Amino acid sequence: MLRFIQFACTRAAMAVFTLLLVSFIVFTLMEMVPGNCAERYLAFKNTQGEQISIENIRAEEQRLGLDKPYIQRWAGWVGNVFLRGDFGDSCILRVNINQLLGDKIWISLGICFTALLVAYLIALPVGIISATVSSPGLNNSLRLVSYLGLALPNFLLALMIMLFSTMVFGDTLTGMFSKEFRDAPWSYDRVIDFLSHAWLPIFILGWSATAFALQTVRALMSDEYGKLYVTAARARGVTGGKLLWRYPARHALGPIINSLGFDLNRVFNELPIVAVILTLSEAGSLLLEGLARSNDQQLAGAIIFMLTAAIVSLNFMTDILLSLIDPRVRKSVMGG
């Protein structure tokens, strides 16, 4: 037990370290952008007709603490994020970022996780069956589906669905809430309304995730299925679903759990683009808004940090989970 706690602590420390490293990379990138927050904000004021001098910029820099050295500012930022969960103020909008992101980021994360869940709910049984049933028709059609999932990227799929729905139903199926619920507080009706809109992004994001997951599951299962211990089990008279679940599926499960973090990464990659097409005002398109329209570094940094944190914590959880369910890993963690 002690060894397990030790293992969990090392993993947690490594996760925190990765996050620190990532935050440093992100912060450095944000820093490399020409012009700082004070200049940009005052330039914005300038367009509103105010006269701006160098002194104004310096004063503003001092107020925001931009005159301090780079490492000190990074430490301050990271400290605020880790200890208080506070991302500071957005540079352009002058609003606290936590307030700006609010439940939008949770909705986005929820959609991504649901998409991943749906993908594996489909991919696990279908992949296992296709690896064990040797019917060329089924195998070829599955291969085609997963290749299409790779070749038809999510945003093209979203476009195709929009094209189809406008041609057939005359509705573009966009947005995350109906008009009357957009700014309303959470209630039963709002949840229903949300769900009636959320299935489409979940489906679209899940589409290529399913294709990837299907390929992984199939490859792992067909590798394991040909091994001698499966033949031995069959010789002892184990058959059907029991044979699959008891023997090869357990072995194949490890690498699958291990790769969950990268699957989530892939879903996050697709999120902003799908969000733009479906005009979801969730984290994805907020990111685009923050970056493309106004170069809002703070907002962008906060979003990228949140997404990475989600992946890192998922990786941490899968590590722990693996050490609990996989005897091979458990042995190497606990020793003897």
> What residues make contact with other proteins under the rule CB under 8 A?
17-18, 21-22, 25-26, 29-30, 32-34, 147-148, 150-153, 155-156, 159-160, 162-163, 166-167, 172, 226, 261-262, 265, 268-273, 276-277, 284, 287-288, 291-292, 295, 300-301, 303-304, 307-308, 311-312, 315
**Residue 89 DSSP label:** B
3-state secondary structure of 298: helix
The token pair that represents 50 in the structure block: 């105010």
- Look at the block and give the residue holding tokens 């996780």: 113
Least Cβ distance, residue 11 to other proteins (angstroms): 13
The token pair that represents 103 in the structure block: 């439940």
Least Cβ distance, residue 212 to other proteins (angstroms): 12
Least Cβ distance, residue 326 to other proteins (angstroms): 20
Q: Is 285 exposed, middle or buried (0-12, 13-18, 19+ CB in 10 A)?
A: buried
Mark out the alpha helices in the chain (DSSP H runs). 2-32, 37-47, 54-64, 70-79, 97-132, 136-151, 154-168, 188-225, 228-235, 240-246, 248-258, 260-277, 283-288, 297-325, 327-334
Give the nearer residue to other proteins in terms of CB position, either 124 or 161. Answer: 161
Question: CA torsion angle for 12, 30, 303, 274 (degrees, to 10)?
Answer: -120
Alpha carbons within 13 angstroms on the beta-carbon side of residue 271 total: 31
Least Cβ distance, residue 51 to other proteins (angstroms): 25
Give the nearer residue to other proteins in terms of CB position, either 160 or 324. Answer: 160
Give CA–CA dist 139/205, Å, rounded.
Answer: 24
**Residue 35 DSSP label:** S
Least Cβ distance, residue 230 to other proteins (angstroms): 15
Give the nearer residue to other proteins in terms of CB position, either 88 or 301. Answer: 301
Give the nearer residue to other proteins in terms of CB position, either 14 or 238. Answer: 14
Give the nearer residue to other proteins in terms of CB position, either 41 or 155. Answer: 155
Residues 11 and 261 sit within 8 Å (Cβ to Cβ): no
Give the nearer residue to other proteins in terms of CB position, either 107 or 312. Answer: 312
Give the nearer residue to other proteins in terms of CB position, either 34 or 137. Answer: 34
Least Cβ distance, residue 29 to other proteins (angstroms): 7
Give the nearer residue to other proteins in terms of CB position, either 315 or 323. Answer: 315
Least Cβ distance, residue 265 to other proteins (angstroms): 5
For 298-321, b/e burial (b = at least 16 CB within 10 A) is bbbbbbbbbbbbbbbebbbebbbe
Least Cβ distance, residue 136 to other proteins (angstroms): 12
Closest C-alpha to 318, from 120, 81, 127: 120
Distances (CA, A) of 216 to 80, 131, 134, 301, 326: 40, 11, 17, 32, 18
Distances (CA, A) of 314 to 15, 209, 260, 301: 10, 16, 8, 20
Give the nearer residue to other proteins in terms of CB position, either 28 or 239. Answer: 28
Least Cβ distance, residue 166 to other proteins (angstroms): 4
